[in-house]
Amino acid sequence: MKGMTLIVKKTTQLIGGMIFMYGIYVIVHGHLTPGGGFAGGVIIAGSMILVTLAYGGDFMKLIREEAGTTIVESLATLMVVFIATSGFFFGTRIFFNNFLPKGIVGHLISAGVLPLYNIFVGTEVAASIFIIFLSLIIYKEESSQ
Partner 1 sequence: MELAISIITGLMILGALYAIHAKDLLSSVIACGIVGYSLVICFLLLGAPDLAIVQIVVDTITLIIMVAVVLDSSREELYSKQDLQGYISAFTGLVLVLVLLYFFTVSIQSLDLLGKGSLRMAEYYIEGASQKTGSANLVTGVVFDFRGYDTLGEAVVLVTAVLGVLTILRIKGKK
Contact set with partner 1 (CB under 8 A): 26, 30-36, 38-39, 42-43, 45-46, 49, 70, 73-74, 77, 80-81, 84, 95-96, 98, 102-103, 105-106, 110-112, 114, 117-118, 121, 124-125, 128-129, 131-133, 135-136, 138-140, 142-143
Residue type, 10: K
> CB-wise, 12 or 118, nearer to partner 1?
118
Instruction: Give the residue from 38, 39, 37, 40 showing the smallest Cα distance to 21.
Output: 40
Nearer to partner 1, 56 or 110 (CB): 110
Output the smallest distance, CB 7 to partner 1, in A.
18
- Looking at the Cβ atoms of 14 and 106, the one nearer to partner 1 is 106
What one-letter code names the amino acid at 78? L
Q: Which is nearer to partner 1, 1 or 9 (CB)?
A: 1
Smallest gap from residue 20 Cβ to partner 1 (A):
13
Task: Report the nearest approach of partner 1 to the CB of residue 28 (Å).
Answer: 12
Longest dimension (CA), the chain: 59
Residue 106 is classified by DSSP as: T
Annotate 22-47 with b (16+ C-beta within 10 A) or e (fewer). Answer: bbeebbbbbbeeebbbeebbbbbbbb
Distance (Å, rounded) from C-alpha 137 to C-alpha 86?
39
CA distance between the termini of the chain: 12
Q: How far is the CB of 77 from partner 1 (least distance, A)?
A: 6
